[in-house]
Amino acid sequence: MKFLRAGARQVVGLFVGDWVQSAVVLVIVAAGWFAVSRFGPVALVVMVALLSGQLVWFARAEGRPSSSPR
Amino acid sequence: MGQQLFIFGAAFLGSAVESVEALTIVLAVGLTRGWRDPLLGAAAALVLLAALVLGFGQLIVTTIPDSALKLVVGTLLLLFGLRWLHKAVLRSAGVVAMHDEEHAFSQAVSQLGDATSRRDWVGFVLALKGVFLEGLEVVFIVIAVGGTGHGFPAAIAGGILAAIVVAATGLVVRRPLARVPENTLKYGVGVILTSLGTFWAAEGMGASWPLDFVSILGLVVVYFAASRVAIALIRRPALA
């Protein structure tokens, strides 16, 4: 049972480090899904910009000097 | 051809990183408790993982429509790649300590030293667990990278070759592969997987990329640039 739980944790952990960041990524992808059919390539550019932006944003939030190093 | 090479390379690099972690566990157990049971445990884990790849891989590819598969697997690959990239950014900026296989190895050895009075199957179970759990990531990389772009054989070949190369190196050196630049590899693979994930997720949405798969290189440039910006913004003196 412990082994199965560790396996399940490992599988979830493959995709989710920070639940908020994962949720933001999913919202961006979902918004992209709706936008691509309406706005075409422009929506792709915006989606990639938002995905890159969230990478910088969450790294900055975690790397702020006030947050303790792990 | 170019896309197949890209798939092979991504599967090879991603699998190599995880194989090094699995090898570290097997070496630690083998050197402490003898080789027979840990090697049997590792072999059992490899059989389980191969069954997962063949079973799930075939099932996924044959039953799910191409666009849905690209959207779902692309999104999962995006989450997976961004997670590695996020960690790599924090490590490169000195916010989180670099992953150290030598340290992981000695930690495992000292834990096993306390368990020497237990029965032999401890070595078997520890090696099986370590190889299986680390191998799950290899399975995901192989299925995700190969399953969407009709590149399953190339991805499986990349994953298997990585495991063979790492295992052969481990046999020769009988020490953890501490010199493999794991953090650099994870950084690079994180960028590639994030780019592939974005590419496939968008294709699953019905978008068509200019220049087809060559756009992946453009995505690599964008995500790499974003990660450098993040590192520059949070850089600290390096941790050990």
In this predicted structure, the answer to whether residue B177 has a pLDDT above a threshold of 90 is no
Cβ neighbours of residue B109 closer than 8 Å, sequence gap 6 or more: B28, B31, B32
Question: What is the share, in percent, of chain B residues with pLDDT greater than 70?
Answer: 82
Please say whether the beta carbons of A14 and B137 come within 8 A.
yes
B55 confidence band (pLDDT: 50, 70, 90)? confident
CB < 8 Å to B75, chain A: 26, 29
CB contact under 8 A, A15 and B236: no
A-to-B residue pairs, Cβ atoms closer than 8 angstroms:
116
Query: Hunting for tokens 């000695």 — which residue is that?
Result: B106
Contact at 8 Å (CB) between B69 and B210? no
Q: Look at B202 and A17 and tell me if their CB atoms are within 8 Å.
A: no
What is the model's pLDDT at position B174? 66
Longest Cα–Cα distance of chain A, Å, equals 49
B82 and A25 within 8 Å at the Cβ level: the answer is yes
As a whole number of angstroms, the distance between CA A64 and CA B98 comes to: 18
Per residue in B184-200, is it b (16+ CB within 10 Å) or e — as a string?
ebbbbbbbbbbbbbbbb
Angle between helices B66-92 and B215-234 (to 10 degrees): 30
pLDDT at B178 over 70: no
CB contact under 8 A, A17 and B71: no
| Model confidence pLDDT, tens digit, residues B122-149 | 778 888 888 888 888 888 888 878 766 6
Select the residue of A22, A48, A64 nearest B198 (Cβ to Cβ).
A48
ipTM: 0.86
Q: Which residue has the higher pLDDT, A21 or B148?
A: A21
